[in-house]
Amino acid sequence: MTTLERLLAWLVPRLQLSGTRWELEWDAQERRSFVTVARVVFPLVTIVSVLHFYLYDIPMGLEPIERWMKFRFAIAFAAVMAFLFYLYWGLDSRRYRVPAYLVLWLVCCSQGLAMVWYGQQTWIFGFILVIASTIVLRLSPLGSIVFCFVSIGSSIPFYLSAGLSAPDIATGSMVSLAIALLSRSSAMSDVENFLLTQQNVDAQSRIAELSSELADRTKAFVPREIAARVDASVRVDKRSVVDAYIEILQPAQKEVTCLFSDIRGFTRNSEELTAFIGESVFPELKACSNAIEEYHGIPRKVGDLIFAYFDSESTEDNDKRALAAAFEISRINRDFNRTSSSKQIKRYILVSCGPAVVGNIGGFDSSIEITALGPPVNFLSRLDEATKVERLSLRLQPGDVLVSKNYYERSHLANQLTLEMLDLDDIGIVIRDFPSERSVVRIPCSDENYDLIQRNLSEH
């Protein structure tokens, strides 16, 4: 900004808003402030004029008293009319400043007339009224200069008639102008602060839009439960989307319930790649993943493998939701096999529980990986290996839910179902890395078991 431009911006601060989309908003804000001040000032002018007559003019014996009464009440009447204008029409009128200009100009000039009648000793009040008027009118520095020249110029004949010397008039004029300019010098800062505020609001709005856009885009790449937690953190805790993801996906140890399901014979069946994968595996995997998310699980798909963990604060809820999701997967698998024209998908659904580290274990670059690590995960992987052994697979039906013994002992819901305890010693199976696990529980995906699970969920 050049020196000339800076001077113009100081004299007429509103020029800084010219052509911006905030110009009308500034005008509306100024109108409201001006009208609010006017609704206070003009009743005060009315009261002061009336009280001045009764408390000063009459006690001082000013003559003729009728002239002073007309003088004071004329000013009071003008102030009342201005007040009524601002009370009823000020916010809607395009020329809302004009009545205030006229009335305050009249007040300033009236003091010169009072000097003619009363004496030049009151001359200082005429200049004080000019200064006060520039403040009340919320004038720009240029507006203050114009108002001072007009008001004082209109009063000079009265000042001279009252016997005030030209040097006194000049001194009073210059001092009044200097004080008026000083008092309104903040007008430029007011406009600059307004612009900065609006720019900051715009920036914050843009950040919010970008944050929302980022959140919407990332929802396609993260589990639904994670996305919901991020939304809640952004909305309630006022975090940015990035900060919310970092906080929520920070690896942490929790008590979780895990679900694991692998397609049996996938490698062999996938030789007919297009038909088996395109018509059966992909839609079945998507449906199974959706079922897990419906029960607030956090799924992770690796090829044909479905893995999910449930990590809410309530272990009971985790156990119920994991079991309900396992049954949904079993029924989805059954329904796909009934309608599919390609090879059948055979899978078991395995469930275990225990402490695990969950979250993003891969960092926030291309290696991001939301999963769980720990004993319950490892156990399910080893149990899945064991189900491939014929001695155990002969005891199972496609769609069966197999749960670990510790899950069975902890879950109140599982104990209410029709199930079968499989003794691994009798079968001759040892689960790799978990030799102390000597039994697992087989829960058939019967309609009775499914209905009992759904009733239990709806009751809670």
The pLDDT, as a whole number, for residue 291 is 94
Q: Which residues pair with 403 in a beta bridge?
A: 351, 441
No. of helices (H) and no. of strands (E), the chain: 19, 10
Is residue 217 assigned to a domain? Answer: no
Choose one of 154, 185, 216: the last residue of a domain.
185
Kindly state whether residues 268 and 175 are assigned to the same domain. Answer: no
Is residue 229 assigned to a domain? Answer: no
Kindly state whether residues 417 and 332 are assigned to the same domain. Answer: yes
The pLDDT, as a whole number, for residue 113 is 86
pTM comes to 0.58
**Residue 125 near residue 78, CB atoms below 8 Å:** no
Is residue 133 assigned to a domain? Answer: yes
The pLDDT, as a whole number, for residue 337 is 83
d(CA 431, CA 385): 8
CATH code for the domain in which residue 319 is found:
3.30.70.1230
| Structural domain count of the chain | 2
Choose one of 185, 201, 217: the last residue of a domain.
185
Residue 90: domain span: 3-185
d(CA 171, CA 160): 14
The pLDDT, as a whole number, for residue 203 is 82
Kindly state whether residues 410 and 329 are assigned to the same domain. Answer: yes
Kindly state whether residues 130 and 33 are assigned to the same domain. Answer: yes
Kindly state whether residues 305 and 451 are assigned to the same domain. Answer: yes
Is residue 194 assigned to a domain? Answer: no
Kindly state whether residues 291 and 178 are assigned to the same domain. Answer: no
Task: Give mean pLDDT in consecutive 10-residue pieces for the chain, a chain of 460 residues.
Answer: 80 84 88 94 94 92 91 94 93 90 93 83 84 90 91 90 87 90 84 87 76 64 87 85 86 96 66 55 86 94 86 94 96 84 81 95 70 95 93 92 95 91 94 94 94 88
d(CA 322, CA 270): 28
Q: Where on the phi/psi map is residue 376: left (φ > 0), alpha (ψ -120 to 50), or beta?
A: alpha
Kindly state whether residues 278 and 399 are assigned to the same domain. Answer: yes
Instruction: Dump the DSSP string for 26-92.
Output: HHHHHHHHHHHHHHHHHHHHHHHHHHHIIIIITTTT-SSHHHHHHHHHHHHHHHHHHHHHHHHTTTT
The pLDDT, as a whole number, for residue 15 is 84
- Identity of residue 184: R
The pLDDT, as a whole number, for residue 241 is 80
Q: Which residue, among 452, 449, 417, has the nearest Cα to 330 in the 3D structure?
A: 449
**Helix-helix angle 98-118:141-161, to 10 degrees:** 30
Choose one of 165, 185, 205: the last residue of a domain.
185
Is residue 220 assigned to a domain? Answer: no
What token pair was written down for 358? 């969950």
d(CA 238, CA 414): 40
Is residue 341 assigned to a domain? Answer: yes
- CB count within 10 Å of CB 430 equals 16
Q: Which residue, among 418, 84, 60, has the nearest Cα to 68 in the 3D structure?
A: 60
Q: Where on the phi/psi map is residue 293: left (φ > 0), alpha (ψ -120 to 50), or beta?
A: alpha
Kindly state whether residues 304 and 177 are assigned to the same domain. Answer: no
**Residue 256 near residue 318, CB atoms below 8 Å:** yes
Kindly state whether residues 277 and 153 are assigned to the same domain. Answer: no
Q: What is the DSSP letter of 164?
A: -
Is residue 193 assigned to a domain? Answer: no
Kindly state whether residues 155 and 271 are assigned to the same domain. Answer: no
Kindly state whether residues 74 and 180 are assigned to the same domain. Answer: yes
What token pair was written down for 212? 């929302």
Is residue 273 assigned to a domain? Answer: yes
**Residue 169 near residue 159, CB atoms below 8 Å:** yes
- CB count within 10 Å of CB 148 equals 25
Kindly state whether residues 167 and 274 are assigned to the same domain. Answer: no
